Amino acid sequence: MKRILCILLALVMIIGLGTSALAVEVGEQRVVLGADLNAEQRAQMWEDFGLVPGTVTALTVTIDQERAHLQDFVPASVIGSRSISSIYIITAPAGTGLDITINNINWLSESIYRNALLTAGITDARVIISAPVPVSGTAALTGIYMAFEDITGEALSEEAKRVGIEEAVITGNIAAELGDSEDIAALMNELKLMIDAIRYMSDEEVRAEIRHLAVEFNIALTDSQVEQILRLARNLENVDLNVIQGALQALQRIQGAADGVGGFFRSVGEFFSGFGEAASGFFSWVRGLFG
């Protein structure tokens, strides 16, 4: 019975992930380069992306564009005075999820980028984020939004982008203080699952839920960090998270059914690598019934 439940939940997840906020043609590619790269560094970025210069449409992100997106959330010292980090994105089939690789990014992690992109409505893509020297990676976040909007020809929700950036900043700061980005990113995803209920909670009730999640993930949050997450939760109420919630609920249930314990199934990639084995076992089981 558990095997059947896992397969059914997997199908639910695939359907949920297949619903995207914007219609996206599969295989569309963009490169976004930091405006302050020199010629040698630009060539290095193309090499990091495994591309020949000129074979993919390239855009440029400037420090002014970066500041316009980030200045309300990121200290000027973190943004810096130059746009360096660059990205390559290729859209993937619905249900694939986000495959993110980073190089020379020392503040934002793969999981933090993934959460910020999901919140903004970007659900299925392969993304490589790189820089010639270690940098915070803030230009890359702006660059991904620019690339996706250029691909679709439609603007992402300004509120969703703003909250996605705020989420990246808060989780990035807390992860830097804790020395662990995975658990805080997972906590944020659990919080997203609760948004519909949180709308009707008092601030004190939401604080209690945040502290409860922190215990579950073995995270020692300060009162200040709890307040930051509370503010983010209130802002997430203004973003349409229906698609994301459905995918995260399926992931959560699959993990609980698969290993007999609750908790968040943190890696979409891990799910799909395991799903092939589960499906193979399922069809073998079916053949056993009818063969």
Give the H or E element holding residue 130.
strand 125-135
Give the highest mean pLDDT range of 46-50, 106-110, 150-154, 216-220.
46-50
Q: How far is CA 50 from the centre of its chain?
A: 23
pTM: 0.74
The answer to whether residue 70 scores a pLDDT higher than 80 is no
List the structure tokens of 288.
């056993």
d(CA 229, CA 224): 9
The answer to whether residue 172 scores a pLDDT higher than 80 is yes
Contact yes or no for 239/191 (Cβ under 8 A): no
pLDDT of residue 261: 35
- Please tell me the least confidently modeled range out of 19-28, 79-88, 207-216, 268-277: 268-277
List the structure tokens of 167.
């989420």
Percent of the chain surpassing pLDDT 90 = 41
pLDDT band at 79 (very low <50, low <70, confident <90, very high): low
The answer to whether residue 283 scores a pLDDT higher than 70 is no
Contact yes or no for 69/142 (Cβ under 8 A): yes
Averaged pLDDT for residues 39-51: 96
pLDDT of residue 123: 85
Mean pLDDT of the chain: 78
Give SS3 for 97.
Answer: coil
pLDDT of residue 1: 44
The answer to whether residue 235 scores a pLDDT higher than 60 is yes
Q: How many CB atoms lie within 10 A of CB 139?
A: 32
- Please tell me the least confidently modeled range out of 78-92, 210-224, 250-264: 250-264
The answer to whether residue 208 scores a pLDDT higher than 60 is yes
